[in-house]
Amino acid sequence: MKEITPENIRNITLIGHGGSGKTTFSELALFTAGEINRIGTIAEGNTASDYNANEIERQFSISLALLHLYWKAVKVNIVDTPGYSDFIGEVKCGIRVCDTAVMLLKAFEGVEVGSEITGHFVNEFKLPSAIVINKCDNERSRFDEVVKIANDRLHSGAIPVVFPANEGLSFNTVIDVLKMKAYTYGAPGSKQVSESEIPANLVAKAEEIRTQLIEKVAESDEALMNKYFEEGTLTLEEIEKGIKDAVLNRSFTPVFAVSSTKAVGMNNFLDFVDKYFPSPLEKEIEHARFKGSDQKIDIKCDPKAEPVMFIFKTISEQHVGELSLFRVISGTIHPGMDMINEANSKTERLSQLSIMNGKNRQDVTTLDAGDLGAVVKLKDTHTNNTLASKNFAVTLNEIVFPEPIIEGAIIPKAKGDEDKISDGLHTIHEEDPSFYGAFNPELGQTIISGQGELHLALAVKRLKERYGVEVDLVEPRIPMRETIKGKCLNAEYKHKKQSGGRGQYGHVFLKLEPRQRGSGFEFSDEIVGGVVPGRFVPAIEKGVVEAMEKGVLAGYKVVDVKVTLFDGSHHSVDSDEMSFKLAGSMGFKKAFMEAKPILLEPIYEIEVTIPEECMGDVMGDISSRRGKILGMDSNGHFQIIKALVPLSELHKYSSTLRSLTGGRGGYKRKFSTYEEVPKDVETKIVEEYKKSREEGH
């Protein structure tokens, strides 16, 4: 293997909407560079990056894949990310550790919602970017229009460096405006590329785009701009340096014409990557914190510095164990080194280090700052952890994963599997922090949550495949609340039991009033003259609180009430804490049912991003879910609808939204408030609760 230093590394992540061809593009890149000897296809299930059984079966990427190739003077690390929105967390992992984001767009469809979402991530991480317009062999390919749309909606500095000479079914030739040559590609698999002069009918177009490009480059540097205005041109050396600087400072996004299936345009793309994409040395300096303090420190990409590495993905493989993918932030690492996990202060000894091409691993003896690799069998280290040397206890900024947009409840098919389920859910979360799973004591259910129906379904499948646990995935109970709208000024309850020997006696008078929403529970002791001895008052309050926890109307927690104990009586022998606790509990239930009890349901604020033409369908659907539209906004050709919708109406909403928008819509949600349930819905819930209790008895 060649010796790799930071200046010779290019770290790129492939992003974009599902179906834009990222996996096929990465396959062509590996083949063109000689890393693989045949181009695999998704249909045949033999690509380097989609190698696990679920990806082969479903024919799309589920997890990110780490790949590498060598081209001219550089090593190119590629992180191929999924396009399906259920796996958006994987995209954030790839963007976090790469130096350039390469977005693939389809030559006919152009910018889709997945392109917009991942484009926001690029801006969030302030990454240099490039655009590959793929599938230029589509008979309806519209390269020039897609470039304009990309300028409007992704980056105003998007200018082609390579455009198609003959887009459509016969596409085999591209024009490189930097080299001012035409490149004709042979049949897929032949690796034949011939250089020629630009056809006469395309010279004017090539010169016009080249002028645009030089003007854009000149804009990014004052000295270059002055020279360009004075002399009307720049030297080749100035253009090359200007392009590199403009890519790095994000004022220019190069655009390439490619067909991954016809194997057209890859050599031109890789030549540009080699010459103009930033190396790790040019990446924005990493910020870290010293352990136990907020003191920030900048970490330079220096192979001679103290070693620091960031784990950006954990993969659990049956025959290998846990595989941790990482970026070396500084220093040089090698097998046998001891590193400290700053999250838990545990020491990890690095065993085998590898570079990856999907599932194929190649062992290496060292990896320098800026490089990406994998290490097996770390004991206590997972995604988002920092490993550093003992002399340099720092923690790097973690990836912030998206909030879940769907929940499900899982019910084991066999008894005694609870521990296995808990362990399995914990492991899945460590591999994929955008997935969550835990037992919810209030609902009495194990709740899993994530980015979509498929995300949850795959987690259930993995529980079965890896842990031998079969579960049913059902709609979770809604964490409703109970409260009152009226008052009960005098509720009496006497608990009296005589069964030979010492009896039980507790007697209370309670007053119940509603409190302001969100203000909680208040208990007031207004006993006068010791009719209920003070030592029994805490037991009464405890009885009230227990009744509130279990619910009265439909088994949900009671909130926002004031309970006043104002009278009662006791027996000198038969009264005790238990008697008064029972009296408090039963007295509260009686008072509650007389004080106009109501159910409250959680209301979520949703933000739905959809194409303009889907507005009517989506708004109609929101209304049918008892939703209230708060307002609308626009973002390019997409509309953003903000609305309040009950949580009970949002189950599987992501799937409905995809169906209504042809996969082009997305949404996010956050808890807003609790609101009163409509009477007809409440009646149905209360009846179901009563029925379930009767069946339970």
pLDDT in tens, 188-200: 989 999 999 999 9
- Given a cut of 80, whether residue 636 has pLDDT beyond it is no
Residue 365 is classified by DSSP as: S
Give the C-alpha separation, 268 to 257, whole Å.
9
Q: Where in the chain is the domain with CATH 2.40.30.10?
A: 286-396
* Highest mean pLDDT out of 149-153, 165-169, 287-291: 165-169
Please name the fold of domain 600-680.
Alpha-Beta Plaits (3.30.70)
> What pLDDT, on the 0 to 100 scale, is given for residue 56?
63
Q: Between 350 and 61, whose confidence is greater?
A: 350
The partner residues of 510 in beta bridges, in order of sequence, read 491, 565
Q: Where in the chain is the domain with CATH 3.40.50.300?
A: 8-282
Give the C-alpha separation, 509 to 403, whole Å.
47
| Residues contacting residue 650 through CB under 8 Å, at least 6 positions apart | 604, 606, 625, 669
Q: Where in the chain is the domain with CATH 3.30.230.10?
A: 482-595
- Given a cut of 70, whether residue 300 has pLDDT beyond it is yes
For the residues 81-91, what does the mean pLDDT come to?
A: 89
Which tokens go with 73?
């003077």
For the residues 267-271, what does the mean pLDDT come to?
A: 97
> What pLDDT, on the 0 to 100 scale, is given for residue 247?
95
Distance of CA 161 to the CA centre of its chain: 32
SS3 (DSSP) at 678: coil
> What pLDDT, on the 0 to 100 scale, is given for residue 360?
87
Indicate the pTM of the whole model.
Answer: 0.85
With tokens 């996996």, the residue in question is 23
CA distances from 18 to 87, 118, 443, 501 (A): 10, 11, 35, 76
For the residues 414-440, what does the mean pLDDT come to?
A: 89
- Given a cut of 80, whether residue 308 has pLDDT beyond it is yes
Which tokens go with 348?
């990890």
> What pLDDT, on the 0 to 100 scale, is given for residue 2?
63
With tokens 């579960």, the residue in question is 471
- ∠ at Cα 567 (562, 570), nearest 5°? 125
Residue range 8-282, CATH number: 3.40.50.300
Are 356 and 300 within 8 A, CB to CB?
A: no
> What pLDDT, on the 0 to 100 scale, is given for residue 647?
94
> What pLDDT, on the 0 to 100 scale, is given for residue 255?
97
- Given a cut of 60, whether residue 19 has pLDDT beyond it is yes
**Percent above pLDDT 70 for the chain:** 98
- Given a cut of 80, whether residue 246 has pLDDT beyond it is yes
> What pLDDT, on the 0 to 100 scale, is given for residue 446?
94
Averaged pLDDT score across all residues of the chain:
91
Kindly indicate the confidence band of residue 447, based on its pLDDT and cuts at 50, 70 and 90.
very high
Kindly indicate the confidence band of residue 320, based on its pLDDT and cuts at 50, 70 and 90.
low
Which tokens go with 303?
């192979």
For the residues 313-318, what does the mean pLDDT come to?
A: 81
Give the CATH architecture of domain 406-474. 2-Layer Sandwich (3.30)
Give the C-alpha separation, 256 to 258, whole Å.
6
Task: Find the radius of gyration of the CA atoms of the chain.
Answer: 32
Which tokens go with 685?
């819930």
Kindly indicate the confidence band of residue 296, based on its pLDDT and cuts at 50, 70 and 90.
confident
For the residues 68-92, what does the mean pLDDT come to?
A: 92
Kindly indicate the confidence band of residue 465, based on its pLDDT and cuts at 50, 70 and 90.
confident
Q: In 193-308, which ranges are continuous DSSP H helix?
A: 200-219, 222-231, 236-248, 266-276
Are 304 and 124 within 8 A, CB to CB?
A: no
Residue 110 is classified by DSSP as: B
Kindly indicate the confidence band of residue 399, based on its pLDDT and cuts at 50, 70 and 90.
very high
> What pLDDT, on the 0 to 100 scale, is given for residue 342?
86
Lowest mean pLDDT among 400-404, 462-466, 475-479, 664-668: 664-668
Amino acid at 123: N
Nearest CA to 583 among 542, 615, 623?
Answer: 542
Lowest mean pLDDT among 370-374, 404-408, 488-492: 404-408
Are 125 and 284 within 8 A, CB to CB?
A: no
Residue range 482-595, CATH number: 3.30.230.10
For the residues 606-611, what does the mean pLDDT come to?
A: 90
Q: Between 117 and 400, whose confidence is greater?
A: 400
For the residues 441-454, what does the mean pLDDT come to?
A: 90
**Percent above pLDDT 90 for the chain:** 68
Lowest mean pLDDT among 47-51, 84-88, 549-553, 608-612: 47-51
**83 Ramachandran zone, left/alpha/beta (phi>0; psi -120 to 50):** alpha
SS3 (DSSP) at 435: coil
Q: What is the pLDDT of residues 639-688, one digit of tens each?
A: 999 999 999 999 889 889 988 987 778 888 999 999 999 999 999 999 98
The number of C-alpha atoms within 13 Å of 418 and in the hemisphere containing its C-beta is 7
Give the C-alpha separation, 258 to 628, whole Å.
45
The partner residues of 476 in beta bridges, in order of sequence, read none
For the residues 480-508, what does the mean pLDDT come to?
A: 91
Give the C-alpha separation, 66 to 11, whole Å.
10
- Given a cut of 60, whether residue 1 has pLDDT beyond it is no
Give the CATH architecture of domain 286-396. Beta Barrel (2.40)
Q: Between 62 and 264, whose confidence is greater?
A: 264
SS3 (DSSP) at 288: strand
Give phi and psi for 550, each to the nearest 5. -85, -20
Torsion of CA 205, 211, 216, 218, to 10 degrees: 170
> What pLDDT, on the 0 to 100 scale, is given for residue 696?
61
> What pLDDT, on the 0 to 100 scale, is given for residue 650?
93
For the residues 576-584, what does the mean pLDDT come to?
A: 95
> What pLDDT, on the 0 to 100 scale, is given for residue 3?
74
Kindly indicate the confidence band of residue 319, based on its pLDDT and cuts at 50, 70 and 90.
low
Residue 156 is classified by DSSP as: T
SS3 (DSSP) at 498: coil
> What pLDDT, on the 0 to 100 scale, is given for residue 253?
96
Q: Where in the chain is the domain with CATH 3.30.70.870?
A: 406-474
- Given a cut of 90, whether residue 502 has pLDDT beyond it is no
Amino acid at 252: F
Q: How far apart are the first and last CA of the chain?
A: 72
